[in-house]
């Protein structure tokens, strides 16, 4: 596990530092997405608030994580699939926010649907966020 983290950092030409290891480990040990606040709380005792911001920004720039926009206006982040490396994001999946447990998941197998726009509009990206009750909470 620990080696995997170093691998990810090196693969992205990032130096291996405590905060990066810590924050990356948070993502790897959690299925869903993490809100900025969660990360700050869990990493914040050991690392400065500013460092958390800069680390997350670095990870987004490198294509290691991606931001998920939600209705309550609190950014969440989740790990990208491997083919996002290099600063270009290719996340063609949708996101699911559970109103019951509050978790946010990447539904990697659900492809973003086609959207027929009126004439004149051109598309560069489509974001789909579904709200509802997740698998675990429906049991």
6 versus 89: smaller Cβ distance to a second copy: 89
In eight-state DSSP terms, residue 114 is: P
Name the strand (E) or helix (H) holding 98: strand 93-98
Tell me the site size for Mn ion, rule CB under 5 A: 2
Site for Mn ion in 52-91 (CB under 5 A): 78
Ramachandran bin of 31, using left for φ above 0, alpha for ψ from -120 to 50, beta for the remaining angles = alpha
Residues in 97-136 that interact with Zn ion by CB under 5 A: 98, 100-101, 134
Are residues 95 and 134 in contact, defined by beta-carbon separation less than 8 angstroms?
Answer: no
Q: Contact between 139 and a second copy (CB under 8 A)?
A: yes
Partner that binds at residue 94, options Mn ion, DNA, a second copy, none, CB closer than 5 to 8 Å by kind: a second copy
Q: Report d(CA 42, CA 46) in Å as an integer.
A: 9
71 binds, among a second copy, Zn ion, DNA, none (CB under 5 to 8 A by kind): a second copy
Establish if 124 lies at the interface with a second copy (CB under 8 A): yes
């Amino acid at each position: 596990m620990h080696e995997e983290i170093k691998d990810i950092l090196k693969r992205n030409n990032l130096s291996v530092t405590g905060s990066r290891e810590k924050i990356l480990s948070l993502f790897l040990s959690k299925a869903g997405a993490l809100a900025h606040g969660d990360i700050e709380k869990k990493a914040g005792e050991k690392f400065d608030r500013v460092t958390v911001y800069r680390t997350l920004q670095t990870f987004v720039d490198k294509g290691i994580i991606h931001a998920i926009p939600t209705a309550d206006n609190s950014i969440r982040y989740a790990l990208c699939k491997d083919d996002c490396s290099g600063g270009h994001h290719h996340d063609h999946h949708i996101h699911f926010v559970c109103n019951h447990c509050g978790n946010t998941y990447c539904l990697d197998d659900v492809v973003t649907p086609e959207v027929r726009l009126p004439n004149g509009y051109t598309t560069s990206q489509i974001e789909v966020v579904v709200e509802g009750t997740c698998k675990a909470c429906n049991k």
